Amino acid sequence: MGKPTGFKEFKRETATRRPVESRILDWNEVYLDIAEEKLKRQGARCMDCGIPFCHGPTGCPLGNIIPEWNDLIYKGRWHDAIEMLHKTNNFPEFTGRICPAPCEEACVLGINEKPVTIKSIEQNIIDHAFENGWVKPCPPATRTDKKVAVVGSGPAGLGCAAQLNKAGHLVTVFERADRVGGLLMHGIPNFKLEKHIVNRRVDLMKAEGINFVTGANVGFNIKVEDLHRDFDAIVLCGGSTKARDIDVPGRDLNGIHLAMTYLPMQNKINFGDHIPEREFISAKGKHVIILGGGDTGADCLGTAIRQGCKSVQQFELLPKPPAGRVQDMPWPYWPMIYRVSSAHEEAAAPIGHDVRDFAINTQSFSGVNGVVKKLHGIRLEWEMQGSRPVKMKEIPGSEFTLDCDLCLLALGFISPEPEGPISQLGVKLDQRGNVLVDQNYMSSIPGVFAAGDMRRGQSLVVWAISEGRQAARGVDEFLMGRSDLPKMKLF
Ligand SMILES: Cc1cc2nc3c(=O)[nH]c(=O)nc-3n(C[C@H](O)[C@H](O)[C@H](O)COP(=O)(O)OP(=O)(O)OC[C@H]3O[C@@H](n4cnc5c(N)ncnc54)[C@H](O)[C@@H]3O)c2cc1C
Ligand code: SF4
């Protein structure tokens, strides 16, 4: 513990966002750098708790050794800090930017004060390490003769591949998209995570000996039998890509799109790819309505604003969450509270209020010449059990109609796609349609493993990395009879 009185002397400080009016003119990340002195003060606030909840089961899913690196930052020992951080997290440059930071919600200081700024410290440790040339390819000293196929190159596939490669196995990552990175690359907009950050890590992994094959759609242009024949183990990390849709009159009108049809297009344009104008979905000059109040909806919001929409609103079926913790959301658990993302701040700036509206149901869409023009909605009343909404009913007479020439459906994801490797391999699924695995992440088919959203359902980047690492440990044990890779009990 760097400074025993730090938590009494210093207040929480976080990185600030660039001014709204300038940041909506570009696609770059919204956060400004935070001064080293501020980070040191945050490191000094850490109490080095006897039981560090930040690191425990309700905190970081990777088991990041947070009190240790808080102390190292306070003492200015940046090189030691990255060594410590890389022990538990292969990609702190991703989580430092886009993790919602369950560690901060679990921080003991958060009981009666604001928590330690753990996420900014994490991001700065890795950014500092890259700037100083400390992050270099580390190929394994020896190779086993085992080959592993990883299907999917999102954070789960990348985490798994990195760990298996460390253990000396020859890893090939098959990715059906044209670029590596999964949702980090195609779903999450640049204003949250610039793509050179993903490419930089993928280049390091290539230099460490991992083979990436893009345009490789396993189960379609790559046969699962070929993977079975050519590899000693297979790890399925294909994500949870089956999106929830809405079944109301007018859904088939043009101009109503799933978020994951819309978002990847702008990311592609930002890469410099060409999309023909008639195919490109843009919010420019349109009245946009986003259905769904989660992360994906917020990403649609920030994208629509940058594209120059005429107006934008975001509707959520559930009621507005409380502003802070309530009795049934106690510390150290993740609270479902009202949060204002950078996109919400951008949308509110010109009109002075939040563009989100809660407890709204969509009844139908109507259009002209096959193109959506109006959304017809109704307000809802929710019956609550504590802070948990249990039953909804429509409020008679609260019907409304709004202009809408682009509707984006950000309603969450149901499960992985059953077609392709899942059905062709015949792996067993759980009740929600995710791949069922044992404690070692092995599916019902020996030698076939699964991790990330494909295993746990739609989740977070930090969980995907964590699951990828744990599946790698399971694979290593399966192939070698033992493993030196780290193990955590996650589920
Ligand atoms: C728009 C959006 C924004 C998000 N924002 C955040 C955020 O800010 N913070 C956060 O923590 N989480 C966020 N999430 C959630 C997070 O991105 C996911 O939980 C995480 O990416 C899951 O990782 P994964 O590796 O399991 O799957 P994915 O990232 O989905 O990667 C799966 C990969 O597998 C590939 N694939 C699928 N099937 C095949 C096949 N048959 N053959 C070859 N390749 C295949 C896919 O093309 C994809 O590249 C967001 C999700 C979305 C949709
Ligand atoms: S819970 Fe908070 S104060 Fe305690 S060790 Fe973790 S970061 Fe430090």
Closest among 86, 97, 92, 93 to 163, alpha carbons compared: 86
Residue 182: pLDDT above 60? yes
User: Looking at ligand 2, which residue's alpha carbon is closest to its atom 4?
Assistant: 49
Which of 103, 109, 111 has most ligand 2 atoms within 8 Å of its beta carbon, as the pocket-test mutant? 109
Quick check: 415 and 242 in contact, CB under 8 A? yes
Strands 406-409 and 256-258: what pairing?
Answer: parallel
Which of 183, 339, 458, 470 has most ligand 1 atoms within 8 Å of its beta carbon, as the pocket-test mutant? 183
pLDDT confidence of residue 112: 93
Residue 76: pLDDT above 80? yes
Closest approach atom of ligand 2 to CA 45: 3
Closest among 193, 251, 279 to 411, alpha carbons compared: 251
Residue 57: pLDDT above 90? no
Residue 193: pLDDT above 70? yes
Closest among 445, 440, 437, 479 to 225, alpha carbons compared: 445
Instruction: Calculate mean pLDDT across residues 162-180.
Output: 98
Three-state secondary structure call for residue 196: helix
Q: What is the pLDDT of residues 94-106, one digit of tens each?
A: 999 999 999 999 9
What residues line ligand 1, using a CB cutoff of 6 Å? 98-99, 151-157, 174-177, 182-183, 187-188, 192, 216-219, 237-239, 260, 263, 295-296, 299, 420-421, 452-454, 459-462, 464
Q: What is the pLDDT of residues 355-410, one digit of tens each?
A: 999 999 999 999 999 999 999 999 999 999 998 999 999 999 999 999 999 999 99
Model confidence band, residue 196 (pLDDT cutoffs 50, 70, 90): very high
Kindly write down the DSSP assignment for every residue of 455-488, as one continuous string. Answer: HH-S--HHHHHHHHHHHHHHHHHHHHSS--S---
Q: Could you tell me the two tokens for 80?
A: 């030691």
- Separate counts of helices (H) and strands (E) for the chain: 18, 16
Residue-wise burial string across 281-291, b where 16 or more C-beta atoms lie within 10 A, e elsewhere: bbbeebbbbbb
> Is the C-beta atom of 109 inside 6 A of ligand 2?
yes
pLDDT confidence of residue 49: 95
Instruction: Calculate mean pLDDT across residues 308-336.
Output: 95
pLDDT confidence of residue 488: 83
CA–CA distance, 263 with 394 (Å, rounded to integer): 31
Closest ligand by atom to 408 CA: 1
Residue 177: pLDDT above 90? yes
Contacts for 125 with CB less than 8 Å, ≥ 6 apart: 69, 73, 78, 81, 82, 85, 92, 96
pLDDT confidence of residue 3: 86
> Is the C-beta atom of 65 inside 6 A of ligand 2?
no
Give the Å distance between the CA of 47 and the centre of ligand 2.
6
pLDDT confidence of residue 491: 56
Give the Å distance between the CA of 395 and the centre of ligand 1.
37
Kindly state the greatest CA–CA separation across the chain: 71
Determine whether 378 is exposed, middle or buried from the number of CB atoms within 10 Å of its CB (0-12, 13-18, 19+): middle
- Mean pLDDT, rounded, of the chain: 96
Model confidence band, residue 56 (pLDDT cutoffs 50, 70, 90): confident
Three-state secondary structure call for residue 398: coil
Residue 490: pLDDT above 90? no
